[in-house]
Structure 1
Protein backbone atom coordinates (compact mmCIF):
# COMPACT_ATOMS: atom_id res chain seq x y z
CA UNK A 1 0.00 0.00 0.00
CA UNK A 2 1.41 3.37 -0.96
CA UNK A 3 -0.46 5.25 1.76
CA UNK A 4 -1.15 8.93 1.30
CA UNK A 5 -0.02 9.62 4.86
CA UNK A 6 3.00 8.02 6.56
CA UNK A 7 4.89 8.17 9.87
CA UNK A 8 7.90 6.16 11.07
CA UNK A 9 8.56 5.52 14.77
CA UNK A 10 11.46 3.33 15.93
CA UNK A 11 11.47 1.34 12.69
CA UNK A 12 7.69 0.89 12.52
CA UNK A 13 6.04 2.55 9.50
CA UNK A 14 2.34 3.42 9.65
CA UNK A 15 0.70 4.31 6.33
CA UNK A 16 -2.91 5.48 6.06
CA UNK A 17 -5.17 6.08 3.08
CA UNK A 18 -8.66 7.51 3.74
CA UNK A 19 -11.68 7.14 1.42
CA UNK A 20 -15.02 8.96 1.53
CA UNK A 21 -17.99 6.56 1.58
CA UNK A 22 -20.65 8.39 -0.37
CA UNK A 23 -23.09 5.46 -0.23
CA UNK A 24 -23.01 5.37 3.59
CA UNK A 25 -23.10 9.14 4.12
CA UNK A 26 -26.22 11.23 4.62
CA UNK A 27 -25.13 14.88 4.30
CA UNK A 28 -28.71 16.11 4.70
CA UNK A 29 -28.67 14.45 8.15
CA UNK A 30 -25.18 15.68 9.06
CA UNK A 31 -23.58 12.25 8.60
CA UNK A 32 -20.36 11.95 6.59
CA UNK A 33 -18.58 8.58 6.62
CA UNK A 34 -15.00 7.68 5.75
CA UNK A 35 -13.13 4.43 5.58
CA UNK A 36 -9.39 4.24 6.00
CA UNK A 37 -6.84 1.57 5.14
CA UNK A 38 -3.89 1.19 7.50
CA UNK A 39 -0.63 -0.66 6.93
CA UNK A 40 1.76 -1.19 9.86
CA UNK A 41 5.19 -2.40 8.67
CA UNK A 42 7.88 -3.70 10.99
CA UNK A 43 11.31 -2.74 9.67
CA UNK A 44 13.11 -3.78 12.87
CA UNK A 45 14.86 -7.07 13.63
CA UNK A 46 12.42 -8.18 16.36
CA UNK A 47 8.67 -8.91 16.43
CA UNK A 48 6.30 -6.27 17.80
CA UNK A 49 2.90 -6.90 19.35
CA UNK A 50 0.19 -4.28 18.74
CA UNK A 51 -1.55 -3.97 22.11
CA UNK A 52 -3.67 -0.81 21.94
CA UNK A 53 -4.89 2.13 19.91
CA UNK A 54 -5.54 5.78 20.71
CA UNK A 55 -7.32 7.90 18.10
CA UNK A 56 -7.97 11.64 18.19
CA UNK A 57 -10.76 12.62 15.80
CA UNK A 58 -11.56 16.28 15.14
CA UNK A 59 -14.44 17.39 12.96
CA UNK A 60 -14.58 20.56 10.86
CA UNK A 61 -16.02 22.56 13.78
CA UNK A 62 -13.21 21.62 16.14
CA UNK A 63 -15.16 19.02 18.16
CA UNK A 64 -12.76 16.35 19.41
CA UNK A 65 -13.50 12.70 20.16
CA UNK A 66 -10.92 10.29 21.56
CA UNK A 67 -11.14 6.55 21.05
CA UNK A 68 -8.94 4.20 23.07
CA UNK A 69 -8.92 0.46 23.50
CA UNK A 70 -7.16 -2.84 23.02
CA UNK A 71 -5.79 -3.75 19.60
CA UNK A 72 -7.40 -2.86 16.30
CA UNK A 73 -10.56 -4.31 14.70
CA UNK A 74 -10.75 -6.92 17.47
CA UNK A 75 -7.17 -8.15 16.98
CA UNK A 76 -3.83 -7.72 18.73
CA UNK A 77 -1.46 -8.83 15.96
CA UNK A 78 2.19 -9.76 16.31
CA UNK A 79 4.07 -8.25 13.39
CA UNK A 80 7.24 -10.13 12.52
CA UNK A 81 10.42 -8.41 11.25
CA UNK A 82 10.01 -7.37 7.61
CA UNK A 83 6.27 -8.14 7.71
CA UNK A 84 3.25 -5.83 7.55
CA UNK A 85 -0.24 -5.93 9.02
CA UNK A 86 -3.12 -4.28 7.18
CA UNK A 87 -6.66 -3.49 8.25
CA UNK A 88 -9.49 -1.14 7.39
CA UNK A 89 -11.93 0.71 9.59
CA UNK A 90 -14.23 3.69 9.40
CA UNK A 91 -15.22 6.96 10.98
CA UNK A 92 -18.45 8.99 10.84
CA UNK A 93 -18.37 12.77 11.26
CA UNK A 94 -21.07 15.42 11.62
CA UNK A 95 -19.20 17.78 9.26
CA UNK A 96 -17.92 17.39 5.67
CA UNK A 97 -14.29 17.53 6.78
CA UNK A 98 -12.09 16.54 9.69
CA UNK A 99 -8.75 15.17 10.74
CA UNK A 100 -7.62 12.02 12.55
CA UNK A 101 -4.35 11.17 14.28
CA UNK A 102 -3.21 8.98 17.13
CA UNK A 103 -0.89 6.22 18.24
CA UNK A 104 -0.58 2.47 18.66
CA UNK A 105 0.77 0.95 21.85
CA UNK A 106 3.38 -1.67 20.93
CA UNK A 107 5.22 -4.27 22.97
CA UNK A 108 8.54 -5.95 22.15
CA UNK A 109 9.43 -9.57 22.96
CA UNK A 110 11.39 -8.40 26.02
CA UNK A 111 8.20 -6.82 27.43
CA UNK A 112 9.23 -3.21 26.81
CA UNK A 113 6.54 -0.91 25.45
CA UNK A 114 6.58 2.05 23.10
CA UNK A 115 4.08 4.20 21.22
CA UNK A 116 4.01 4.37 17.43
CA UNK A 117 2.67 7.53 15.77
CA UNK A 118 -0.34 7.31 13.48
CA UNK A 119 0.15 10.19 11.01
CA UNK A 120 -2.47 12.93 11.01
CA UNK A 121 -4.68 12.54 7.95
CA UNK A 122 -7.42 14.67 6.43
CA UNK A 123 -10.98 13.57 5.92
CA UNK A 124 -12.25 15.75 3.08
CA UNK A 125 -15.06 15.32 0.60
CA UNK A 126 -13.78 14.51 -2.90
CA UNK A 127 -13.68 17.48 -5.29
CA UNK A 128 -14.20 20.02 -2.49
CA UNK A 129 -11.74 22.73 -1.60
CA UNK A 130 -9.87 21.75 1.56
CA UNK A 131 -10.53 24.35 4.22
CA UNK A 132 -9.54 22.60 7.45
CA UNK A 133 -6.06 21.36 6.57
Structure 2
Protein backbone atom coordinates (compact mmCIF):
# COMPACT_ATOMS: atom_id res chain seq x y z
CA UNK A 1 0.00 0.00 0.00
CA UNK A 2 2.81 2.34 0.90
CA UNK A 3 4.58 1.54 -2.42
CA UNK A 4 1.45 2.47 -4.30
CA UNK A 5 1.33 5.80 -2.51
CA UNK A 6 4.95 6.55 -3.42
CA UNK A 7 4.33 5.70 -7.06
CA UNK A 8 1.25 7.93 -7.14
CA UNK A 9 3.30 10.75 -5.61
CA UNK A 10 6.09 10.16 -8.12
CA UNK A 11 3.61 10.40 -10.99
CA UNK A 12 2.02 13.54 -9.53
CA UNK A 13 5.35 15.14 -8.75
CA UNK A 14 6.82 14.49 -12.18
CA UNK A 15 9.18 17.42 -12.83
CA UNK A 16 8.70 19.77 -15.76
CA UNK A 17 11.21 19.87 -18.60
CA UNK A 18 12.92 22.96 -17.16
CA UNK A 19 13.25 21.32 -13.75
CA UNK A 20 14.61 18.16 -15.37
CA UNK A 21 17.24 20.16 -17.20
CA UNK A 22 18.24 21.98 -14.00
CA UNK A 23 18.17 18.85 -11.92
CA UNK A 24 19.88 15.74 -13.36
CA UNK A 25 17.87 13.53 -11.00
CA UNK A 26 14.72 14.15 -13.03
CA UNK A 27 16.43 12.79 -16.10
CA UNK A 28 17.39 9.64 -14.24
CA UNK A 29 13.79 9.03 -13.17
CA UNK A 30 12.50 9.52 -16.71
CA UNK A 31 15.27 7.26 -18.03
CA UNK A 32 14.33 4.51 -15.56
CA UNK A 33 10.64 4.80 -16.47
CA UNK A 34 11.44 4.54 -20.16
CA UNK A 35 13.65 1.50 -19.64
CA UNK A 36 10.89 -0.13 -17.60
CA UNK A 37 8.52 0.48 -20.53
CA UNK A 38 11.00 -1.05 -22.96
CA UNK A 39 11.29 -4.20 -20.87
CA UNK A 40 7.51 -4.65 -20.82
CA UNK A 41 7.32 -4.97 -24.66
CA UNK A 42 7.42 -8.47 -26.10
CA UNK A 43 10.22 -9.71 -28.26
CA UNK A 44 7.89 -10.05 -31.23
CA UNK A 45 6.74 -6.46 -30.81
CA UNK A 46 10.34 -5.25 -30.67
CA UNK A 47 11.06 -7.17 -33.89
CA UNK A 48 8.09 -5.53 -35.59
CA UNK A 49 9.24 -2.11 -34.41
CA UNK A 50 12.77 -2.82 -35.66
CA UNK A 51 11.37 -3.78 -39.09
CA UNK A 52 9.35 -0.58 -39.23
CA UNK A 53 12.41 1.45 -38.29
CA UNK A 54 14.39 -0.30 -41.04
CA UNK A 55 11.67 0.52 -43.56
CA UNK A 56 11.70 4.13 -42.39
CA UNK A 57 15.46 4.27 -42.84
CA UNK A 58 15.31 2.69 -46.33
CA UNK A 59 12.48 5.01 -47.34
CA UNK A 60 14.40 8.05 -46.08
CA UNK A 61 17.51 6.96 -48.01
CA UNK A 62 15.41 6.38 -51.14
CA UNK A 63 13.84 9.84 -50.87
CA UNK A 64 17.25 11.40 -50.34
CA UNK A 65 18.64 9.61 -53.40
CA UNK A 66 15.61 10.64 -55.47
CA UNK A 67 16.07 14.25 -54.41
CA UNK A 68 19.73 14.20 -55.35
CA UNK A 69 19.12 12.50 -58.70
CA UNK A 70 16.25 14.91 -59.37
CA UNK A 71 18.46 17.89 -58.64
CA UNK A 72 21.15 16.49 -60.93
CA UNK A 73 18.62 15.76 -63.67
CA UNK A 74 17.10 19.25 -63.47
CA UNK A 75 20.55 20.82 -63.49
CA UNK A 76 21.50 18.83 -66.61
CA UNK A 77 18.18 19.67 -68.27
CA UNK A 78 18.62 23.30 -67.38
CA UNK A 79 22.10 23.35 -68.92
CA UNK A 80 20.88 21.57 -72.08
CA UNK A 81 17.91 23.95 -72.32
CA UNK A 82 20.18 26.97 -71.97
CA UNK A 83 22.62 25.66 -74.58
CA UNK A 84 19.78 24.86 -76.99
CA UNK A 85 18.24 28.32 -76.59
CA UNK A 86 21.60 29.97 -77.19
CA UNK A 87 22.10 27.83 -80.30
CA UNK A 88 18.62 28.71 -81.61
CA UNK A 89 19.34 32.38 -80.96
CA UNK A 90 22.64 32.20 -82.85
CA UNK A 91 20.98 30.40 -85.78
CA UNK A 92 18.27 33.05 -86.05
CA UNK A 93 20.75 35.87 -85.69
CA UNK A 94 22.85 34.33 -88.47
CA UNK A 95 19.81 33.99 -90.75
CA UNK A 96 18.76 37.57 -90.12
CA UNK A 97 22.30 38.85 -90.66
CA UNK A 98 22.32 36.98 -93.98
CA UNK A 99 18.94 38.50 -94.90
CA UNK A 100 20.27 41.97 -94.07
CA UNK A 101 23.33 41.32 -96.22
CA UNK A 102 21.16 40.12 -99.13
CA UNK A 103 18.86 43.16 -98.77
CA UNK A 104 21.85 45.50 -98.86
CA UNK A 105 23.21 43.78 -101.99
CA UNK A 106 19.76 43.92 -103.58
CA UNK A 107 19.41 47.59 -102.64
CA UNK A 108 22.85 48.37 -104.07
CA UNK A 109 21.93 46.53 -107.27
CA UNK A 110 18.64 48.41 -107.48
CA UNK A 111 20.42 51.73 -106.93
CA UNK A 112 22.88 50.87 -109.68
CA UNK A 113 20.08 49.86 -112.07
CA UNK A 114 18.14 53.00 -111.16
CA UNK A 115 21.19 55.15 -111.89
CA UNK A 116 21.68 53.44 -115.29
CA UNK A 117 17.98 53.91 -116.15
CA UNK A 118 18.11 57.53 -115.05
CA UNK A 119 21.16 58.12 -117.29
CA UNK A 120 19.45 56.35 -120.18
CA UNK A 121 16.29 58.43 -119.72
CA UNK A 122 18.39 61.59 -119.63
CA UNK A 123 20.17 60.56 -122.83
CA UNK A 124 16.89 59.73 -124.54
CA UNK A 125 15.30 63.00 -123.47
CA UNK A 126 18.32 64.97 -124.69
CA UNK A 127 18.34 63.06 -127.97
CA UNK A 128 14.64 63.88 -128.59
CA UNK A 129 15.24 67.51 -127.82
CA UNK A 130 18.11 67.75 -130.36
- TM class, shorter-chain normalised? under 0.3
Q: Which structure features the higher share of strand residues?
A: 1
TM-score (norm 1): 0.17
**Which has the larger share of helix?**
2
**Which has the larger Rg?**
2
Higher relative contact order (CA 8 A, sep 6+): 1
